[in-house]
């Protein structure tokens, strides 16, 4: 079932305000758990983890910054 524009917008806000900070804490904990590797390895781990979190959520964020496609012409302001 496809999410409506409003539902995707609300879900994306929830993900950014709650999910992303939690994911950052998990990523930092993971890097600290492997005993602070060299700065280059640490950078690669953070870059990979920074890309991986968005892949399953692409559909939620797609088009959220655009005007509501279901709104009438006079409601788009």
Q: Is the pLDDT of residue 46 over 70?
A: yes
Question: What Å distances lie between residue 36 and 19, 60, 65, 66, 70, CA to CA?
Answer: 24, 33, 37, 41, 49
- Of 74 and 49, the structure prediction assigns the larger pLDDT to 49
What's this model's pTM, rounded to 2 decimal places?
0.72
The chain-wide mean pLDDT, for the chain, equals: 85
| pLDDT given for residue 31 in this prediction | 86
Every domain of the chain and the residues it spans? 23-60
pLDDT tier for residue 73 given thresholds of 50, 70 and 90: low
Q: Which tens digits make up the pLDDT trace of 51-62?
A: 998 898 888 888
Is the pLDDT score of 74 beyond 80?
no
């Amino acid at each position: 079932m496809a999410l409506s524009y409003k539902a995707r917008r609300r879900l994306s806000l929830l993900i950014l305000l709650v999910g992303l900070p939690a994911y950052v804490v998990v990523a930092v904990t993971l890097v600290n758990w492997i005993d602070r590797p060299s700065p280059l390895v640490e950078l690669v781990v953070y870059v990979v983890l920074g890309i991986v979190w968005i892949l399953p959520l692409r559909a939620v964020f797609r088009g959220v910054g655009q005007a509501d496609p279901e709104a009438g012409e006079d409601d788009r302001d």
